Chain A
Amino acid sequence: MAAHNLGTELDLSWISKVQVNHPAVLRRAQQVQARRTVKKEWQAAWLLKAVTFIDLTTLSGDDTSSNVQRLCYKAKYPIREDLLKALNMHDKDITTAAVCVYPARVCDAVRALKAAGCNIPVASVATGFPAGQTHLKTRLEEIRLAVEDGATEIDVVINRSLVLTGQWEGSDFIKTSTGKETVNATFPVAIVMLRAIRDFFWKTGNKIGFKPAGGIRSAKDALAWLSLIKEELGDEWLKPELFRIGASTLLSDIERQIYHHVTGRYAAYHDLPMS
């Protein structure tokens, strides 16, 4: 994690001055995806970089210690070793940025990662995820318990009833959505959030991180997100301390593309280990 956002005095005039033109943002969202493309070894390198931004996530009602364990192993070994060797990247210790689970699965994740001998952080969604509509007391207790179990990052669902009435909360990272909404991480929304992050940095010098979550499934999507961050915020945001992608199935598509890049063939389903 980057240095914490120490916060500033709440100045609502910043918010009231913000102007967002919806159709113009939609156009920008379309353009940013069409105007940049990376090919060949650039694409491979960018995809490997994308892996290091992934919060490898499982948020299912039927999660158990066995699938969490499998997830953690995949987080540690996201890309097949021989593929990395072919790219001369096997010694770069490429892992996902974190694993992300429900509070009740934090223990399983911490244990599995320790067994795999790595220090990938465990992130936990908390505070009545995904609605956030529980009492403040239980929300705080939930965070405390998750931290006690070994979670080092907490994805807090903010109290949206407060936001909609203009009472804002501060944070180190902002996330597009829980990933459980009908519409999740979209480019137009991200553009507005990224511009807010940049304005806050220009005003206070604090760098706030950004995490799109939900709906990012293909390697192509991942490249577009990296390029969006590069274009709107710049290279200094392209590190796991400031940028994460919340995703569960993205990793396998990236691995599939790397496989194709290295071998020139399209992988069969069984060629790549599941997560």
Chain B
Amino acid sequence: MAAATRTAPRAREIFTTLEYGPAPESHACALAWLDTQDRHLGHYVNGKWLKPERRNSVPCQDPITGENLASCLQAQAEDVAAAVEAARTALENWSTLPGARRAQHLTRLAKMIQKHQRLLWTLESLVTGRAVREVRDRDVPLAQQLLQYHAVQAHTQEEALAGWEPMGVIGLIVPPTFSFLEMMWRICPALAVGCTVVVLVPPASPAPLLLAQLAGELGSFPGILNMISGPTSLGPVLASQPGVQKVAFCGAVEEGRTLRRTLAGQGLELSLALGAESLLLLTEAADVDSAVEGVVDATWSDRSQGGLRLLIQESVWDETMTRLQARMGRLRVGRGLDGAVDMGARGAAARDLAQRYVHEAQSQGAQVFQAGDVPSDSPFYPPTLISDLPPASPCAQTEVPWPLVVASPFRTAKEALAVANGTPRGGSASVWSERLGQALELGYRLRMGIVWINAHGLRDPAVPTGGCKESGSSWHGGPDGLYEYLRPSGTPARQPSLSENLNYDTFGLAVPSTLPAGPETGPSSAPPYGLFVGGRFQAPGARSSRPIQDSHGNLHGYVAEGGAKDIRGAVEAAHQAAPGWVGQSPGARAALLGALAAALERRESALAARLERHGVELKVAKAEVELSVRRLRAWGARAQAQGHTLQVAELRGPVLRLREPLGVLAIVCPDEWPLLAFVSLLAPALAHGNTVVLVPSGTCPIPALEVCQDVATLLPAGLVNVVTGDRDHLTRCLALHQDVQALWYFGSVQGSQFVEWASAGNLKPVWVNRGLPRAWDQDAEGAGPELGLRAAQTKALWLPMGD
């Protein structure tokens, strides 16, 4: 047949230039879906759209054309209350279902997404401006995998997670720059274990609303997933609703800090996932071309939300920069719905942030290189490489925003570690080296939540993803993601314990003075006087003491009155002991805990006598000593079964789930069970490789000091430090200490609230009892898996293999 022309004459021209052309993906279905809502989006609560009257609305715009796509409601407090109410009602049924039923429901949702995936990816790309390729080829399949993985977990829950129960209603707060996938990482495990969820999505984010609608249209269990569209500032309102047991927040570091302070004392769990910067460490033994692709994956492929800090070994600096710049020249930036662009646009806020950072970096002496095929008339920001930024300049300290890469050189692997670990951030990093030993050394020693060896940005539902330090210590994916939404069975539900009039400025600030309190009585000789710091007893800085009375009100003895300087000294000593203790094998740690247990056994009668003086019946006192001995031995044995290997689909090679020590762990022991609680907390902390600073029981600190006499001879100096004194004052010092990596507090309601508030400083993970007693003599509460979970942090180490 004759060829009927329907072609423009441009082919001729393209034949010569061989340029790329537009490859637009139709977004008609996204617009059609918006039309079903009359271009007016509300909240999605209890399986229905909720569009209350008299609310402000914000426009949802195409970030590239500025075209108004729809208007979105801004929630008010009563909308949040309605959503939480729906979630609470749904919880009654959902949390008591057999895991298999929940699994079935999650699988159905995965299939629902599969059926409507085109709508999902075009809507997400249209509104966020991200490259459709990334949403279509990665996010949407991963969302389905997440549901399927967690369906399997729900299926085995009764067996694998016996002894744990769902927390209840979970409030999730996500930032405006997030992708719907980040939400999926959190709601999947929550739903799987039997929690119900209320998500506070930023206005003008239709994709999560669509997901909620898809979930709602499954018919059954409408209230398990509810979406409220509103600003992050509604976070505290969400948190304060009765029934909400936990708030999970992801977003900027400073917002997380503020939320931590606001929610102090409200009796709910808070998990934070903060910041988006990543790190790439390129050694001279790297496949440089592949590492350059790693940089592209990390920043310039619309995969992550943050920028990248790039550390390059000096000997390959020039070569790397040449290759990186050549590669940048081939990047294409354009409308996200174009199938052939690497990077889309992220709206004016993201562009302005990048712009500001670049200007400041330039004014501080940095070189800026920009390249790529970028439309000029536009909201786009080009791929940007910054180098020669002086290490001490303000820009070098702040988080690198998308789509920037800040490159700096290092000389040796040791220096690279110092630079990489020398930031408050602890999110993700990749190490590029073809030398196995070096790669593993760097991978193990980077203080990060995730480390990829010779890859960047791989994700899988089975692998825990999270961070440490100021990146927030929350996890999603893998077993760790499930525990985020579980609590040991029988834990009392949230009780509001907020004391509005707690003055954070003065809590524990002053130490009441203590005076001589009468003659010392009693048969047994007192342990050496002093604070146990750095392996020996030493006098307190304040040179004063506090009297300890026995159960009859007689003076039992004096203990040292520790203060801020003593805490400083104890934390320093603990830091010095840390490398040696971390380097010990779990077996060696277990042996030392065993030796301490044996020493306690020998000391049994003395310890029992001490306890007896404090009103404990001799038989019970002996049982307490015996149980303490058992605790030490038990944790020694458990420490040897740490971490494991994960198998990941589509990855040749293993992912190691490492359980690493938190660092210096401060423990404020409860007043009750003066020996048993002290040992029950000390043992898991040591077994997991932490070094500790402890404040023993306030009413009866002497048994703990008694134990220190054996610690002094058996354990390395500085591993265990015990500071006696005014508990509120010592708690204040520890909670505000920026170089204490975690804090466990068992004391008053006010103390718990203060600890939560003060932890916002370095965002250390805290565990507080909110004034509630704990059954230390029961294995579930005194030696349960919860202690092991809290005593260490997870790190995922990806080890792809190939010849």
Contacts and interface: CB of A to CB of B under 8 A. Distances in A.
Nearest to B12: A88
A28 B6 contact: no
Given A19-B285, A19-B288, A23-B802, A42 B21 contact: yes
Contacts of A44: 7, 11
A34 B137 contact: yes
B411 to A, nearest CB: 20
Nearest to A22: B802
Interface in B347-384: none
Interface in A6-57: 19-28, 31, 34-42, 44-46, 48-49
The B interface, classified by DSSP as helix, strand, loop or mixed, is: loop
B293 A262 contact: no
Interface string B172-216: 000000000000000000000000000000000000000000000
A21 B290 contact: yes
A202 B3 CA distance: 46
B165 interface: no
Interface string B17-31: 011111100000000
Contacts of B133: 34-35
A89 B14 CA distance: 11
Interface stretch (A136-144, A172-180, A230-238): A230-238
A85 interface: yes
B434 A37 contact: no
The A interface, classified by DSSP as helix, strand, loop or mixed, is: helix
B14 A27 contact: no
A22 B803 contact: yes
B802 A264 contact: no
Interface string A116-149: 0000000000000000000000000000000000
Interface in B324-346: 330, 339-340, 342
A41 B7 CA distance: 7
B10 interface: yes
B288 A41 contact: no
B4 interface: yes
Nearest to B651: A23
A138 to B, nearest CB: 35
B18 A230 contact: yes
Chain A, interface residues (CB within 8 Å), range: 35 or more
Given A42-B21, A262-B6, A263-B4, A37 B340 contact: yes
A48 B455 contact: no
Given A25-B290, A34-B133, A49-B18, A87 B340 contact: no
A38 B133 CA distance: 14
A237 to B, nearest CB: 11
Interface string A241-265: 0000000000000000001011110
B652 to A, nearest CB: 7
Contacts of A80: 3
Nearest to B136: A34
A127 to B, nearest CB: 29
A89 B11 contact: yes
A23 B339 contact: no
B701 interface: no
A195 interface: yes
A262 B5 contact: yes
A26 B7 CA distance: 37
A266 to B, nearest CB: 12
A183 interface: no
Interface string A65-108: 00000000000000010110111110010000000000000000
Q: Which 6 A-B pairs have the closest CB atoms?
A: A22-B802, A42-B21, A24-B290, A45-B14, A21-B287, A23-B800
13 contacts: A21-B432, A23-B454, A24-B293, A35-B301, A44-B7, A45-B18, A86-B5, A89-B11, A195-B289, A231-B330, A235-B18, A262-B4, A264-B6
Interface of A: 19-28, 31, 34-42, 44-46, 48-49, 80, 82-83, 85-89, 92, 195, 202, 226, 230-231, 234-235, 238, 259, 261-264, 271
